[in-house]
Amino acid sequence: LHWSSSEVRSTFLQYFQNHDHLFVPSSSAIPHKGQGTYFTNAGMNQFKPVFLGTVDPRSEMATYRRVVNSQKCIRVGGKHNDLAEVGCDLTHHTFFEMLGNWSFGDYFKEEACKMAYELLTKEYKLPVERLCFTYFGGNTDLNLSPDTQCQDIWRSLGVPSDHILPFGMKDNFWDMGNTGPCGPCTEIHYDHVRPHAAGHLVNANSPDVVEIWNLVFMQYERHEDGSLSPLPSQHVDTGMGLERMLAVMNGSHSNYDSDLFTPLFDTIQKASGAPAYSGRVGADDAAGVDMAYRVLADHARMYTVAITDGLMPSRHGLGHKLRQLIYRCVRYTQKVFHTDPHLLCVLVDLVADSLGAAYPEIQQRKELVKAAVAITTENYLQLQKEARQSFQKMLRQEQCKHLTGERVLEITEGRYGCAVPLEMLQDLAEEHDVSVDVADFEHRLEKSKEQQNTAPLTAREVFSHSCFETLQQRDVLPTDDSFKYIYSSTQS
Ligand code: ATP
Ligand code: MG
Ligand code: MG
Ligand code: MG
């Protein structure tokens, strides 16, 4: 490996600082009260007030013109939910770092593209023949013309014409919602395999061509009636995935071949005695071991950052998503790695080692993270014990070899003792050679949700104590108020 994660990060931050950008630290990965109900999913989240024109004129943010940062991002739930991809591919994580530069009413397209081009080709020294540039191709329904200005800029910088490609709204037009600031974007993709290819695999979901950087030009405001008007001042908002850039710099298709993941893999391997990680995906990874390595390492970074930033595993909202993620890790330690789930806490130390220099709060709060993860793991094991008892009780009563959707619903709702989560039920059924009609169950679950017209108390909501409460009882919560504050704001 030629490049370390810290070199890729600092090269970006330094380049823009050398071009008069102010470094602004990452905001929390967990939204504060009133700042949304999803995880922080992009670098721009903390700067929304600037784009919306609602920034307090006395605040420091009001003075920002050129900014650079590296943002802790989580894409689980909400508009961007990458959970289904994570582990299956080599380029999507639940937690990742987004490197970004901003112009707030300062430079616009020309300078933004010029700097991006110079950074990629001169500092990172990427060969231009491997890069492809997309621009907004227009939309007749919405009366939006193609961003030929952007196309011309890339051409003038020396990019061959066949490496500059138009795409539609989905890939090359950015908005914050149905109303508000929006605009075309231009994205930069890297072709791992075919230099000089005319970019036919761009945005085609090919592992060979990866999107590395998105440059958004905020130039319109969209109104209630859908019409667009020019913004009084224009902004630039960019985001580059650090893990993807690092893979590109090391000539690898995989974000996992880097110092951010290798130490985690090594530790999982040593603890479990499993075959070493070998980078297989899909059908090549028949036993799913490499996938399990990726999921465990990815999720360890996510739960470490999320808990550091004030979220606690719990029964509701984001806390519930976090808990599910930890539960999934425990399940992998048992089913695939056949090892003590305490491994989840060991991984926290490694994540703190790799990210602690860039985000010191991760080092500072790692003992708390480990305590929360340990409690969540204990909860899972306890639930598993009770689930087994319930399942066996059901089998004694019903003596069946097949579970209908209706029966599954009953079991998950606690008819035979504790409410058994579906995944756990599937494991138990497999163990007892019983088949499960999952599709019918899911259908019924949807229907029962509709009937109740509110989210029902799900089978998973079985603990009378959330992790937060247990931590409180054990007196291991930091005195720092931000925790309680953030926790309570994400619970409602
Ligand atoms: P993709 O099309 O690959 O899902 P995206 O278009 O959703 O990416 P953007 O919202 O444009 O991504 O975010 C900017 C950059 O952040 C991307 O160009 C990519 O480098 C990086 N990125 C986005 N999602 C992830 C993720 N889940 N894991 C790692 N990096 C990501
Ligand atoms: Mg995406
Ligand atoms: Mg994309
Ligand atoms: Mg994109």
Which residue, among 237, 228, 215, has the nearest Cα to 145 in the 3D structure?
Answer: 228
pLDDT at 226: 86
Distance CA 49, CA 63 (A): 13
Q: Which residues line ligand 1 (CB under 6 A)?
A: 75, 80, 82, 92-93, 96, 98, 211-214, 239-241, 243-244
Q: What is the pTM of this model?
A: 0.91
- Predicted pLDDT at 198: 75
**What pLDDT score was predicted for residue 267?**
98
Query: What's the gap in Å between 39 CA and the centre of ligand 2?
Result: 14
Atom of ligand 1 nearest to the CA of 212: 20
Length of the chain: 492
> Are 186 and 147 a contacting pair, CB within 8 Å?
yes
pLDDT for res 481: 52
Ligand nearest to the CA of 210: 1
Which residues, other chains included, contact 52 with Cβ-Cβ below 8 Å and sequence gap of 6+?
176, 180, 181
Nearest alpha carbon, ligand 1 atom 31: 241
| Spatial CB neighbours of 113, under 8 Å, sequence gap ≥ 6 | 150, 153, 154, 157, 186, 215
Q: What is 394-407 written as a DSSP string?
A: HHHHH--SEE-HHH
- Measure the CA–CA gap between 472 and 475, rounded to whole angstroms: 5
- Which amino acid residue places its CA nearest to atom 11 of ligand 1? 214
- Residues of the chain short of pLDDT 50, as ranges, are 454-465, 484-492
Residue minimizing CA distance to atom 22 of ligand 1: 241
pLDDT of residue 46: 92
Residue identifier of the C-alpha nearest atom 5 of ligand 1: 211
Distance CA 492, CA 484 (A): 13
CA distance 76 to 41: 9
pLDDT score for 466? 58
Report the pLDDT value the prediction gives residue 450, as an integer from 0 to 100: 75
Q: Could you tell which of 44, 76, 89, 92 is best to mutate to test the pocket of ligand 1, judged by most ligand atoms within 8 Å of the CB?
A: 92
pLDDT recorded at residue 245: 98
Q: Which of 79, 96, 237, 255 to mutate to test the pocket of ligand 1 (most atoms within 8 A of CB)?
A: 96
